[in-house]
């Protein structure tokens, strides 16, 4: 990782400021600042190593997602001894949901150090969650699993995780609607109504069709996210009917 040190870990006042920021954010002294610099670099920024490999948060995001899932599974296994596999899986999904991570990233004001090429365009919500996962991956690589767990307890579990409250939280509006449609013999489908593509991200527009009628629309950076958004909007329109048919 020496090439990353040369790129990111200079003695400039900017990087000194970044070091202080990472220290305050994580609650401990970073050993390898280059990991955190990469974690806060969006793919829209052109940055490559000496071998031509892109340097951004995507690989760290992949690692952080796995570490976060493991830490939350560990927590739930201990705190919910009577929960079966299905219950534990559902609860973990609620805690590590994309929407939840986006909110946490915003509340931590990660935009202070995110490097991107968005210009005057507002940072998309998904970037906050992606950066959050990449940060977790950076902490894991830099200081190991135990330090990473302490960080997760401080910024995610303690302030956001309440098992009793989460038990009543809907983890998937699409899943809930599909189940309701099956029980009530209704025809439910999703259709792509438009797509937008630029250098920063792709956007999908999705229509939710119920018995041949468009009930709601959703938009997201993937078809899955757009379908979930459309399902959530449809749920709140049909909530009385759905809740009385569970």
DSSP state of 30: -
Token pair for residue 21? 């920021």
Q: How far is CA 141 from CA 148, 224, 237, in A?
A: 9, 30, 45
Catalytic residue, chosen from 34, 61, 130, 133, is: 133
Active-site residue, 133 included? yes
Question: 48 - beta bridge partners?
Answer: 54
Which are the contacts of 246, defined by CB distance < 8 A and separation ≥ 6?
180
**Overall size of the chain counted in residues:** 246
Catalytic residue, chosen from 65, 130, 227, 228, is: 65
**Rg (the chain; Cα; Å):** 20
Active-site residue, 142 included? no
Catalytic sites, residue numbers: 65, 133
């Amino acid at each position: 990782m020496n090439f990353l040190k040369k790129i990111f870990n200079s003695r400039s006042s900017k990087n000194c400021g970044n070091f202080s920021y990472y220290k305050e954010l994580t609650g401990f002294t970073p050993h390898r600042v280059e990991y955190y610099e990469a974690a806060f670099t969006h793919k829209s920024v052109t940055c490559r190593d000496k071998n031509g490999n892109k340097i951004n948060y995507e690989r760290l995001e992949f690692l952080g997602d796995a570490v976060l899932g493991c830490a939350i599974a560990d927590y739930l296994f201990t705190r919910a001894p009577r929960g079966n596999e299905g219950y534990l899986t559902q609860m973990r999904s609620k805690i590590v949901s994309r929407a939840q991570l986006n909110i946490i990233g915003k509340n931590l004001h990660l935009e202070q150090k995110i490097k991107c090429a968005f210009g005057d365009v507002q940072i998309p919500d998904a970037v906050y969650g992606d950066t959050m996962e990449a940060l977790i991956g950076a902490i894991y690589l830099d200081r190991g699993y135990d330090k990473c767990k302490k960080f997760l307890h401080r910024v995610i579990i303690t302030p956001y995780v309440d098992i009793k409250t989460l038990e009543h939280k809907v983890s998937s509006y699409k899943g809930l609607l599909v189940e309701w449609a099956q029980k009530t013999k209704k025809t439910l489908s999703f259709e792509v109504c438009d797509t937008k593509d630029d250098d920063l991200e792709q956007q999908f527009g999705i229509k939710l069709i119920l018995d041949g009628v468009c009930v709601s629309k959703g938009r997201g950076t993937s078809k899955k996210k757009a379908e979930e958004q459309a399902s959530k909007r449809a749920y709140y329109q049909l909530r009385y009917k759905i809740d009385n048919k569970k």
